[in-house]
Amino acid sequence: MADAGMLRFHVPEPEVRPGGTPDFSNVPIPRAGSVPRPEIDVDPREIRDLAFSIIRVLNRSGEAVGPWAGLLTHEELLEGLRHMMTLRIFDARMQMAQRQGKTSFYMQHLGEEAVACAFRKALSPGDMNFPTYRQAGLLIADGYPMVTMMNQIYSNEADPLKGRQLPIMYSSKEHGFFSISGNLATQYVQAVGWAMASAIKGDTRIAAGWIGDGSTAESDFHSALVFASTYKAPVVLNVVNNQWAISTFQGIARGGSGTFAARGLGFGIPSLRVDGNDYLAVYAVAKWAIERARRNLGPTLVEYVTYRAGAHSTSDDPSAYRPKAESDAWPLGDPVIRLKNHLIHRGVWSDERHAQAEAEILDTVIAAQKEAEAHGTLHSGNKPSMRDMFEGVYETMPPHLRRQRQQAGV
Ligand SMILES: Cc1ncc(C[n+]2csc(CCOP(=O)(O)OP(=O)(O)O)c2C)c(N)n1
Ligand SMILES: [Mg+2]
């Protein structure tokens, strides 16, 4: 008999809870090199499979294989490795600074370094990112000064944003890093709008929108896809699937669609999944998508399959919702170790040189930290003026703000 009677709805459940044994055996991982590389001007209907696969270049022996390999020189890869190592060490120092009370808040990128670092290398100067809080790699890989990032984190007198933004919500027009909005998914509509404006102006600059797996549940994600697909906006739509949205596993936002990339298919947007822990694969797919945008072939949706190895933020404790060793079981490994092994395999790197580079980078980060702390931290040193609170929003300050500023005596 049919199941009549009381209605039910379905709440997806993660496979494993804290105390359980991590298990990713249900995550299909295609062989490196096995996914074809379509022509840039391919008809999106011919590559629907790519929304359900994972493009990978680095295999388990550290070799770069398949049609997406071969785009970067040794020097470029060594630079990429240095960017990821810098971001990781920067994160470790700032995480510690938060524990020491020098800032109220910090967010790490542990395990996800390849995504933003490699993407940045595929962009051209003038292109604009609309990032979330987990893409500081875009700045590091573009040579943005670490001292300036730290000044922002400390909200000190040299903070270019004058203490008006949450720590880690950087902003740099020159480095193609649009001011971060804490309201997730707004980045998507803004990126599509900026891209359309660039086209309306007859410019050559493209935009990149950034979103996490969890935030794809926001309606802004879907609205952005409507506009991007209808108007063929010159934009790359990045979904960073790091498996978690704070304590919520990715199965909730993904629902029944199979993959996040598959969300793009209903809009006719070419949608690719890529190994987010593979610097070479991320770069190759980013290059492909960016070239499509630049050649007026429209938007591309890219899902980066990765894993958030650290806590969501300094306010989070992942042991409350996932097994402690889950990140060790993640089948796509660690992006820094994988690129390191590849470079060793190519004969241009070694464990000794890696250890030496780590020590050098740590020295550089500590020197930047000293310089930033000389300008002050959360509880020490000079602060931005209270007057700054009233500036920078309106071209002409409205009377009610002028009154408040007078009342504050600044
Ligand atoms: C619109 C909106 N809703 C809720 C939040 C609160 N919030 C901050 S981070 C976060 C989780 C986001 O997860 P995901 O999109 O997967 O990004 P990740 O942190 O994993 O990079 C939530 C719900 C927010 N900042 N904005
Ligand atoms: Mg996430």
What is the number of the ligand 1 atom nearest to the C-alpha of 212?
A: 15
| Closest ligand 1 atom number to CA of residue 183 | 26
For the chain, 410 residues long, give each residue's pLDDT as a single digit of tens. Answer: 566 899 999 999 999 999 999 999 989 999 999 999 999 999 999 999 999 999 999 999 999 999 999 999 999 999 999 999 999 999 999 999 999 999 999 999 999 999 999 999 999 999 999 999 999 999 999 999 999 999 999 999 999 999 999 999 999 999 999 999 999 999 999 999 999 999 999 999 999 999 999 999 999 999 999 999 999 999 999 999 999 999 999 999 999 889 999 999 999 999 999 999 999 999 999 999 999 999 999 999 999 999 999 999 999 999 999 999 999 999 999 999 999 999 999 999 999 999 999 999 999 999 999 999 999 999 999 888 888 989 888 999 999 999 999 999 99
Entry pTM: 0.97
Which residue, by CA, sits nearest to atom 13 of ligand 1? 245
Separation of 277 CA from ligand 1 center, angstroms?
21
Measured by CA distance, the residue closest to atom 11 of ligand 1 is: 245
d(CA 178, CA 172): 6
From the alpha carbon of 215, which atom of ligand 1 is closest?
15
Pocket mutation for ligand 1, best pick of 181, 183, 184 (most atoms within 8 Å of C-beta): 184
Ligand 1 centroid – CA 211 distance (Å): 9
Best residue among 113, 189, 215 to mutate for probing ligand 1, ranked by most atoms within 8 Å of CB: 215
Which of 135, 213, 246 to probe ligand 1 with, by most ligand atoms within 8 A of CB? Answer: 246
Q: Phi then psi for 262, rounded to 5 degrees?
A: -60, -20
* Strands laid side by side in the 300-305 sheet: 128-130, 207-212, 235-241, 300-305, 271-275
Give the ligand at the shortest distance from the Cα of 241: 2
SS (H, E, C) the chain: CCCCCCCCCCCCCCCCCCCCCCCCCCCCCCCCCCCCCCCCCCCHHHHHHHHCCCECCECCCCCECCCCCCCCCHHHHHHHHHHHHHHHHHHHHHHHHHHCCCCCCCCCCCCCHHHHHHHHHHCCCCCEEECCCCCCHHHHCCCCCHHHHHHHHHCCCCCCCCCCCCCCCCCECCCCECCCCCCCCHHHHHHHHHHHHHHHCCCCCCEEEEEECHHHHCHHHHHHHHHHHHHCCCEEEEEEECCEECCEECHHHHCCCCCCHHHHHHHCCCEEEEECCCHHHHHHHHHHHHHHHHCCCCCEEEEEECCCCCCCCCCCCHHHCCCCCHHHHCCCCCHHHHHHHHHHHCCCCCHHHHHHHHHHHHHHHHHHHHHHHHCCECCECCCCCHHHHHCCCCCCCCHHHHHHHHHHCC
Of ligand 1's listed atoms, the one at least distance from the Cα of 250 is 16
Using a 6 Å CB cutoff, which residues line ligand 1?
134, 182-185, 212-215, 218, 240, 242, 244-246, 308, 312
> Looking at the CA of 246, which ligand is closest?
1
* Residues by chain with Cβ below 5 Å of ion ligand 2: 212-213, 242, 245
For ligand 2, the distance from its centroid to the CA atom of residue 213, given in whole angstroms, is 5
